Amino acid sequence: MGTKVRNIRMTPTKQFLINAFVNLVNEKDFDKISIADITNGAQVNRATFYAHFNDKYELLDYIINDSAAAVIEKRTLGVVKFDQNNIVQLVLAVCDFHQQPNIQCRRSYLSLAPQLKEKMLMELKNYLLRSLDNILSDSEKSFYVSIYANIIHEAGYLWASGYTTFDKEEVAKKASLLIAGDHSKISEGEWL
């Protein structure tokens, strides 16, 4: 199949396909969703689906990419800055992101978790690269950005998955202290 020309604007048909897919993921496992299921839910024909996406994996990528970027934008209010407050907001964005799918079928969520993590890490790294642009050298950025992004993601994911008894604000504060480098204040709950 040839390369599709990417139309970045959201058409009503594309939104119908996305809505149908999200509804289906709430009802059944991702692996069991077919193109026919999606097109029936969106009330469009198969050719219309393929005019927008190559397959259900591309549709999933589209939804996840848009969602990860949007949740970071919302939490940081579009401000790209490396400070404790924005680190807290990034962790909270990850919490929001992993709650967002609102998938009742837990197996479906678990099968999507690797894609969700990959896309969120990519968006976190992009944000951190921009926020550290005038603070660190290129070699330092390449070292720290990946570490920071993984700490931020893991903190938010642990909260969203129910693996911690801390509330999400406390998780975000502790992760920001870890990144800020003042480890003595983490257990005491002090702020910089």
Q: Which amino acid is at 34?
A: S
According to the model, what pLDDT value does residue 116 have? 84
User: CA 60, CA 33: separation in Å to the nearest integer?
Assistant: 12
Q: In this structure, what token pair is assigned to residue 133?
A: 């642009």
Sequence-ordered alpha helix ranges (H) in the chain? 12-27, 35-42, 46-52, 56-76, 84-99, 106-131, 138-160, 168-180, 184-188
pLDDT in tens, 50-82: 999 999 989 988 888 778 899 999 999 999 999
According to the model, what pLDDT value does residue 4 have? 43
According to the model, what pLDDT value does residue 5 have? 40
Residue 23, CB-side half-sphere exposure with 13 Å CA sphere = 12
pLDDT band at 26 (very low <50, low <70, confident <90, very high): confident
Mean pLDDT of the chain: 84
pTM: 0.74
Helix axes 106-131, 84-99, angle to 10 degrees: 160
pLDDT in tens, 110-141: 667 788 889 899 999 999 999 999 888 888 99
According to the model, what pLDDT value does residue 64 have? 80
If one counts every other C-beta atom within 10 angstroms of the C-beta of residue 40, the result is 14
Domains, the chain, with CATH or none = 12-53 (1.10.10.60), 64-182 (1.10.357)
According to the model, what pLDDT value does residue 107 have? 53
Q: What angle do CA 55, 74, 139 make, to 5 degrees?
A: 80
pLDDT in tens, 139-181: 899 899 999 999 999 999 999 888 999 999 999 999 999 997 7
According to the model, what pLDDT value does residue 186 have? 40
According to the model, what pLDDT value does residue 158 have? 92
Question: For a pLDDT cut of 90, what percent of the chain falls above it?
Answer: 54
